[in-house]
Structure 1
């Protein structure tokens, strides 16, 4: 199927926030740009992607690797001589994963289990840059990615700059968690909030852009739940979804638990070695599968998330699900997720969760 450039743009508009994009572009046209703009929205909402498009339009450039543009992003505590290494990684990440999460970035720089922050040193470096004469662009731009991970000292330094901002400098901030952003900093910025793209829009986009069948598109939508980061990860996977595989393995062990105790202990130990974000992702994914199974039981036309798996009997699995069981499972899994942030002993909590799930799933509960 051949597409004109106009048609291609129309397809892309399905997953872009057209109203917000129009508001940002109008700020350019009317020359009413504030010193600082905060684009705030959940992972995979496309706020960063739209922010990048906005900067390109403002500066009338195609690439953001430019001496008048400075990026700040969370980094582990390390020596300053690794800055070039991180910038090279960052620009590749920017191109390859514009919807990427903090966990994706940590994996890119091999810092999954490290605490990453935007440091005072990074902010001071950016401030030096904006004090120099512009190289060739109309604005100097400083882009903060994951503002909620800004170091306190760095935040205080930034406040002083925003109170007496230099001319022709734009600060663009990208954030996900409003409660973790310094209130005094947020109050000095133009706040623009994003929601996740609707499932209907994503489904249409997948069918038009990638020529997927309606069933394939619905499958991806059901797993991603509006998160474009997840959508593109599924599309880019050459093999089956690893979370699906982990879930299937888990359920098989629970189904035959008497003969699988040793396997379960080994498997729990492997899960225990995952970083916190990956543990959360798997548990949230599992929770969503139980909810989907409950809905499927009463609506046979609903999505089967394991449609492409020949080695998992989805219909048989759904027979073990009912409203009471899903309520109990939701409570149990939610408690374990909360425990991850409290640094509980995850291995024992996950093992206890597994034993409880075995009792709930494979015993009559009405």
Structure 2
């Protein structure tokens, strides 16, 4: 993975390059950015840039032995840590899951947590990073590097560490010489504060519209006009933009209309059947539906001020226009978005989708009742 393969994030890339150029590479860094912003690919590109013996000012060479091993995720001095289900056969540490990890990265380096669980055929199970894996990190970093003078530990989604993550505090503070810790997350509130305080924060913004649009055209063969619209709607989330671009009319639209009808007419009896039907999409499907709803509501909030040109088109634009005739106002829409964000949080924490959707239905009703 090279910097040129990472979508956007030019300012962050420049800061990382400068740090390497002047010899200031913090031994523990936390790359923090919203989902779909490219934290994992940026971390992988940074590792390759740091370790490449033939790097230029801008990027790794991509051709040397080190780059080839890093590109295939087989370099012996790079240890990958990530969440996986507790009961996944006889697998106890991340290295037991490396074959699936490599396959998943080769297929889509911008994968989400839900994509990773699907790769493991464990979508309805809760992943975590177990204590045995943390002790394995300490063991691996205590060994001498096989090649070169650096060992790297990449921890993807430290939100899944739990309290056992405190096992790493000492090695984060006093790592062996030539050690680089990279943690890649999206929600600092879900990461142990004791770990955050021992790392240098590298903040990532959502991907810029121009860069996201170009990536959709080049990588996903989406028409330029559609790519520009999707980039604005997805608000810097490449993963969401791709999902929304898979079909001309988004498959979530009908379900979203049904939900809003139930909520605004307060037909909570119908909400039970609706929640049951939608929960059949699985956790990742429900999460994408909620992301879709959040983007629709945010669009409804900004349209009165900036218009709908370049955003939703066709049936979805009609929905946005009709929704705004209710004149709910920015504050009420903000409360509705918060309800959906809380529901997403519950889904990500392995909550029961049907129960969460029902709770969200009541939450949405409560959000709009005060207006009426």
Q: Provide the TM-score with structure 2 as the length reference.
A: 0.75
Q: Deviations over 1:127-162 (max 9, x none)?
A: 222233322232111111111211322x22211212
User: Matched residue of 1:231: which SS?
Assistant: helix
Query: How much has 1:166 moved relative to structure 2?
Result: 0.9
Query: How much has 1:255 moved relative to structure 2?
Result: 6.9
Q: What is the CA–CA distance in structure 2 between the aligned matches of 1:229 and 1:339, rounded to whole Å? A: 19
What's the counterpart of residue 186 of structure 2? Answer: 176
Contact kept, 8 Å, 1:265 with 1:351, in 2: the verdict is no
What's the counterpart of residue 72 of structure 1? Answer: 81
1:116 aligns with 2:127: yes
User: Matched residue of 2:106: which SS?
Assistant: helix
What's the counterpart of residue 138 of structure 2? Answer: 127
In structure 2, the CA distance between the partners of 1:305 and 1:85, relative to structure 1 (3 Å rule), is: farther
Q: What is the CA–CA distance in structure 2 between the aligned matches of 1:146 and 1:331, rounded to whole Å? A: 27
Contact kept, 8 Å, 2:299 with 2:320, in 1: the verdict is no
1:156 aligns with 2:166: yes
What's the counterpart of residue 246 of structure 1? Answer: 252
1:35 aligns with 2:46: no
User: Matched residue of 1:81: which SS?
Assistant: coil
| 2:195 pairs with one of 185, 192, 203 | 185
Q: What is the CA–CA distance in structure 1 between the aligned matches of 2:175 and 2:3, rounded to whole Å? A: 36
Q: Deviations over 1:285-328 (max 9, x none)?
A: 22432453576688776136354xxxx48547734532524655
What's the counterpart of residue 93 of structure 1? Answer: 104
Aligned length: 342
Task: Say which is worse superposed, 338-347 or 68-77, in terms of deviation.
Answer: 338-347
Task: Say which is worse superposed, 33-42 or 71-80, in terms of deviation.
Answer: 71-80
1:268 aligns with 2:275: yes
Task: Say which is worse superposed, 105-114 or 170-179, in terms of deviation.
Answer: 105-114
Q: RMSD in angstroms over aligned alpha carbons?
A: 3.9
Contact kept, 8 Å, 1:143 with 1:173, in 2: the verdict is yes
Q: What is the CA–CA distance in structure 2 between the aligned matches of 1:271 and 1:279, rounded to whole Å? A: 7
User: Matched residue of 2:87: which SS?
Assistant: coil
Matches for 1:349-364 after TM superposition, within 5 Å = 349=359
What's the counterpart of residue 321 of structure 1? Answer: 324
Contact kept, 8 Å, 1:68 with 1:140, in 2: the verdict is yes
What's the counterpart of residue 289 of structure 1? Answer: 296
Query: How much has 1:278 moved relative to structure 2?
Result: 4.3
Q: Provide the TM-score with structure 1 as the length reference.
A: 0.76
Q: What is the CA–CA distance in structure 1 between the aligned matches of 2:336 and 2:308, rounded to whole Å? A: 28
User: Matched residue of 1:172: which SS?
Assistant: strand
1:17 aligns with 2:9: yes
Task: Say which is worse superposed, 226-235 or 32-41, in terms of deviation.
Answer: 226-235
Q: Which one has a bigger Cα radius of gyration?
A: 1
What's the counterpart of residue 212 of structure 2? Answer: 202
Matches for 1:299-314 after TM superposition, within 5 Å = 302-303=309-310, 305-307=312-314, 312=315, 314=317
Give 5+ residue unaligned stretches, structure 1: 1-7
User: Matched residue of 2:80: which SS?
Assistant: strand
1:44 aligns with 2:36: yes
